Amino acid sequence: MTVNDVDKTFAGSIPEIYDAYLVPLVFEPYAIDLATRVTQQPPARLLELAAGTGAVTRRLALELPASTEIVATDLNQPMIDRANAIGATRSIAWRQADALKLPFADASFDCVVCQFGVMFFPDKPAAFAEARRVLKPGGRLLFSTWDRLETNEFTATVNTALGEMFRDNPPSFMARVPHGYFDYDRIRRDLAAGGFRQPATIEAVDAQSRAAAPRIPAVGFCQGTPMRNEIEARPGASLGAATDAAERALSNRFGEGAITGQLRAHVVSVTRE
């Protein structure tokens, strides 16, 4: 299995831990934000890419008109299975799909949405070209991407703790993938390479992450993301020991009880001409 394959693997217990720990911790504030932006111009038919366990999907189901058809996709079938098991307030068409090879007709959606998924696409211009292909003229692509690691305090603290634990071969997933796609010039180049001719709007959005105890983000990041695959691949590594080290680092920085950390992401909007 290649590094790229490992980075995209959400299997085993990862979907359940991801949904229980990370969705309320870091994804929910941005799901609300993204859904609010979509409802400003309610689409008749919406496609979600990299839907994960359905954080944005559920918000869209609540806020969009009942007449809006929602199709939610993800590369990982276990994530789709988890999202489908949780369900939503209305019918959602859940589909396993690769964002680089979408199984949909040209010009078949009014809006394409992706929350924190574009960072995982190995060929971003190709993924943007596919999003543009399935959009109707005048349709919008909206997506969010994390800022650099240092501006997301819980994640940065966990990453530093694991770097100290595995000094000879520190896990690189967090900095390399989720927090590796924040440069505005690069994003605009990739969108242009994908065929978008209209200028993109990119906005930094700050939020706060709250946890009842340091153990929650420690488990979420170490056991509910593909960083788990990196930890478990290291000789003699213990997932439990890594989680404990992350918890200690979070406690040292933020305290023993309920903790709060800063988040920063970017929301990108571009219209198909």
Taking CA 92 as the corner, what is the angle to CA 27 and CA 137, rounded to the nearest 5 degrees? 85
- pLDDT tens digits, residue range 131-185? 999 999 999 999 999 999 999 999 999 999 999 999 999 999 999 999 999 999 9
Compute the distance between CA of residue 256 and CA of residue 46 in angstroms, rounded to an integer.
43
3-state per-residue secondary structure call for 174-186? HHHCCCCCCCHHH
Q: What are 25-62's pLDDT values in tens digits?
A: 999 999 999 999 999 999 999 999 999 999 999 999 99
Q: What is the pLDDT of residue 6?
A: 52
Looking at domain 3-271, its CATH architecture is: 3-Layer(aba) Sandwich (3.40)
What does the domain layout of the chain look like in residue ranges?
3-271
